[in-house]
């Protein structure tokens, strides 16, 4: 019966409670609540709808190509709530009300309509602990009262803050907006307002006057969020989620905002640890591979880098290498452009540069392999097996079906034969948003047919998995994917997509980056200088490089309509200035690599908004943390030559970034509070280093450990001292620093290395330095 759904307890275990509602036409809905250490899981599964697997939630890291049972408890630390029945809380006295209490939360459940009230655990009155409650009268679409699909409506507090959702545009705080939950090839997007973009992540964090909570809806179907954009006079102020999938599984995550960010990342499983070379400058442009003399232009990239003293780590090989005429055909080598793919790879390898060739998941209808693949049923298809056809890159093509095991293996084998075996060991998975909306298009579903539109972004994940299976697993190789779901960081890095060249988009690309860091996407970057549009002005070009120094992925990439390429030598008169910036990035590699390792171990972001560490700080601030110790202070305003920053309150204060000259007698000044300083557009970026830090820097072929002293106190630091590419052993080589700052001395104790350690102590008191090296 519409609007009447009475659930009854059918069973329970120590950490799970099971319910069932009998519905019309002999159907039923089974619900359950699972209690874990940092979260709860709520599910609604219809008797006539199969529950699809998850590829996102995987705390134990064990996820096969078929995914994982969406209701599995493997890898979770379960908890036993204190459970009791309390007086009925339904406004009309319907159903029963149960209370479940854990160390972190108190859950009240009314069985009529399955309405939840979620509170923080504690002894304060309930209204001061309330995080959210389901909307009265109808909070779920159990009887399709509101149409097809699943829906969830919960309370909204005026002025609350909303963070997350992947790569969504606009401010970091998403309150007051609505968003589509879909992935799209949004080339040239407006970073302030375009929606949807490339990632599909139904996860957000809400911070209100009583605390914070996170919600992740475990689905890959298209949907929509509203955070105050949608109003209805008949209900309390609400937030809403809608999706096309009929079953609904969601998690409520507890803690502070930084704890929720960490918990969500942990729920998604272990993070891929990239090789060190990926943090160096990686070149990219479509112009080189689109040119008829692609081989010459690509080799010239290496020669030009040598000419200007630039040391790249990799090169993103755009899809022009696959062209036949004006079209692009994945796994096809145009040997007129690149006569010897192996020879080209060897030329780059000799220069110490890795390739990342571009692959796309659609085969044009005139692709040399199209008929063979269609005959075997490896494309997304209609019920009769006919391949579904879609517009794709100046033609029509069919999307590859990675849920077909034979197709998955075929893709893996093609990647290995056509790319990896030819010396192209790292794969760039691109244009994989799967623009499939037709509900009559089906996928194999690993033996259980599923509508392709229900799992659109999942294909990009499986594509990346298949490519990764072809890569050399004896060392740390690298995979990148443009489209992404939660869990992508287990297997690949990403970037913010085909951004637009303008100062406004530059600023909002930064906000997108902060949003991604709050969403579990930690290893990312931007197309520095902008991908779509005209070549950047000199000022914008320099400002974006200054900013890009502080992002994990440091890549200039472009498709400029005037035929130019946004390369380091775009403006010959600025080459000395650009070289200084690239040298600074290069010097930061040991520090950044160690921060990436820290992120992998702790599930904390690599770069992130200041408020994540300092609650109350402006969530929209231009300044941000670069790792645990460096505050980056970029300039986003055209024509500005100074920057003002409110330095976070930390013990002793902040030092300026490493300088070439020091006053040996006066020591190094410490800054606190609001600081205004010169920030020339053609100079080095402004940055500060937190007192109580160790920052390893690469200088003249060796690592120098800069120790930033406290006024008084002790701090420690651990540094991963490996080769940057090998699979890490269970006990990796770690150098440990203990720094004791006393009245007269700064004592630095170093343990865990046989190598000579270069130290440089930065101290506002100019105290005597005592170094104690305990070798292995």
Confidence of residue 721 (pLDDT cuts 50, 70, 90): very high
Q: What pLDDT shows up at residue 667?
A: 59
Q: Tell me if 430 sits within 8 A of 423, measured CB to CB.
A: no
**Confidence check: pLDDT of 94 > 60:** yes
Spatial contact of 523 and 489, defined as CB atoms under 8 Å apart: yes
Please give the pLDDT value at position 520: 98
Query: What are the angstrom distances between the C-alpha of 459 and each of 82, 121, 380?
Result: 41, 40, 10
pLDDT at 619 over 90: yes
Better-scored residue on pLDDT, 354 or 564: 354
What digits encode the pLDDT tens for the residues 236-286?
999 999 999 999 999 999 999 999 999 999 999 999 999 999 999 999 999
Residue 744, burial from CB neighbour count under 10 angstroms (0-12, 13-18, 19+): exposed
Burial (CB < 10 A; 0-12, 13-18, 19+), residue 366, is middle
Helix (H, G, I), strand (E, B) or coil at 656: strand
- pLDDT recorded at residue 183: 97
What is the 3 state secondary structure string of 148-168? CCEEEEEECCCCCEEEECCCC
Residue 393's pLDDT band (cuts 50, 70, 90): confident
Kindly state the tokens that stand for 304: 């030009």
| Residue 411 φ then ψ, to 5° | -60, -50
Q: Which two tokens stand for residue 599?
A: 């992120």
Under DSSP, the state recorded for 113 is T
What angle separates helix 503-517 from helix 538-548, to the nearest 10 degrees? 10
Interval 96-129: pLDDT, tens: 999 999 999 999 999 999 999 999 999 899 999 9
State the chain's mean pLDDT as an integer. Answer: 96
């Amino acid at each position: 019966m519409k609007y009447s759904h009475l659930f009854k307890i059918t069973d329970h275990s120590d950490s799970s409670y099971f319910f069932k509602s009998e519905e019309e036409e002999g159907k039923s809905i089974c619900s359950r609540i699972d209690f874990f250490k940092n979260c709860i899981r709520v599910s609604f599964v219809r008797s006539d709808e199969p529950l699809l697997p998850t590829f996102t939630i995987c705390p134990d890291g064990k996820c096969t190509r078929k995914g994982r049972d969406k209701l599995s408890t493997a890898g979770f630390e379960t908890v036993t709530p204190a459970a009791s029945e309390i007086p009925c809380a339904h406004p009309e006295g319907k159903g029963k009300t149960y209370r479940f209490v854990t160390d972190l939360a108190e859950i009240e459940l009314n069985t009529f309509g399955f309405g939840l009230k979620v509170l923080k655990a504690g002894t304060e009155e309930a209204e001061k602990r309330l995080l959210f409650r389901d909307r009265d009268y109808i909070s779920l679409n159990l009887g399709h009262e509101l149409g097809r699909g699943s829906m969830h409506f919960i309370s909204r507090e005026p002025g609350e803050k909303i963070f997350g959702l992947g790569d969504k545009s606009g401010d970091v705080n998403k309150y007051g907006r609505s968003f589509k939950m879909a992935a799209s090839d949004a080339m040239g997007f407006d970073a302030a307002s375009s929606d949807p973009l490339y990632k599909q992540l139904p996860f957000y964090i809400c911070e209100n006057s009583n605390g914070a909570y996170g919600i992740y809806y475990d689905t890959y179907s298209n949907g929509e969020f509203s955070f105050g954009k949608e109003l209805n006079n008949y209900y309390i102020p609400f937030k809403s989620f809608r999706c096309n999938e009929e079953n609904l599984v969601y998690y409520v995550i507890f803690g502070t905002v930084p704890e929720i960010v960490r918990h969500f990342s942990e729920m998604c499983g272990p993070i891929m640890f990239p090789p060190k070379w990926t943090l160096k400058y990686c070149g990219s442009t479509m112009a080189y591979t689109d040119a008829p003399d692609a081989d010459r232009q690509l080799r010239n990239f290496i020669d030009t880098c040598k000419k200007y003293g630039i040391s790249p780590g990799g090169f993103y090989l755009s899809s022009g290498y696959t062209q036949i005429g004006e079209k692009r055909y994945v796994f096809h080598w145009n040997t007129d452009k690149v006569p010897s793919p192996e020879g080209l790879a060897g030329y780059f390898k000799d220069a110490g540069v890795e390739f990342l060739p571009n692959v796309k998941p659609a085969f044009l209808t005139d692709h040399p392999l199209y008929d063979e693949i269609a005959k075997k049923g490896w494309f997304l298809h209609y019920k009769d097996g006919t391949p579904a056809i879609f517009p794709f890159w100046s033609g029509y093509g069919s999307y590859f079906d990675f849920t077909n095991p034979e197709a998955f293996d075929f893709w893996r084998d093609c990647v290995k034969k056509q790319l990896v075996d030819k010396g192209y060991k790292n794969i760039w998975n691109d244009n994989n948003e799967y623009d499939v909306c037709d509900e009559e298009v089906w996928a194999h579903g690993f033996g259980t047919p599923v509508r392709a539109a229900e799992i659109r972004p999942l294909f990009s994940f499986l594509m990346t998995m298949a490519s990764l299976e072809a890569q050399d697993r004896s060392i740390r190789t690298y995979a990148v994917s443009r489209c992404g779901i939660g869990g992508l960081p287990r297997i690949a890095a990403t970037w913010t997509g085909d951004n637009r060249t303008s100062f406004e988009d530059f600023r909002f690309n930064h906000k997108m980056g902060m949003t991604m860091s709050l969403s579990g996407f930690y290893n990312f970057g931007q197309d520095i200088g902008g991908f779509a549009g005209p070549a950047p002005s000199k000022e914008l070009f320099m400002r974006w490089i200054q900013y890009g120094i502080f992002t994990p992925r440091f890549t200039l990439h472009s498709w400029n309509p005037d035929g130019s390429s946004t390369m380091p030598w775009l403006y010959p008169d600025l080459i000395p200035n650009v070289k200084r910036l690239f040298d600074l990035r290069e010097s930061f590699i040991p520090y950044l690599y160690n921060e990436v390792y820290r992120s992998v171990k702790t599930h904390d972001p690599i770069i992130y908004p200041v408020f994540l560490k300092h609650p109350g700080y402006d969530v929209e601030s231009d300044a941000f943390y670069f790792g645990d110790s460096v505050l980056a202070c970029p300039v986003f305003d055209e024509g500005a030559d100074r920057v003002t920053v409110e330095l976070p309150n930390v013990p002793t204060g902040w030092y300026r970034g490493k300088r070439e000259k020091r006053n040996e007698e006066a020591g190094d000044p410490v800054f606190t509070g609001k600081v205004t300083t010169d920030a020339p557009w053609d100079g080095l970026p402004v940055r500060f280093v937190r007192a109580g830090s160790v920052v390893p820097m690469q200088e003249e072929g060796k690592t120098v450990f800069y120790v930033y002293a406290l006024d008084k106190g002790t701090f420690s630091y651990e540094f991963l001292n490996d080769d940057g590419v090998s699979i890490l052993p269970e006990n990796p080589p770690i150098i440990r620093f203990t720094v004791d700052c006393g009245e007269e001395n700064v004592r630095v104790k170093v343990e865990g290395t046989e190598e000579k350690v270069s130290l440089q102590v930065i101290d506002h008191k100019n105290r005597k330095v005592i170094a104690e090296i305990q070798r292995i």
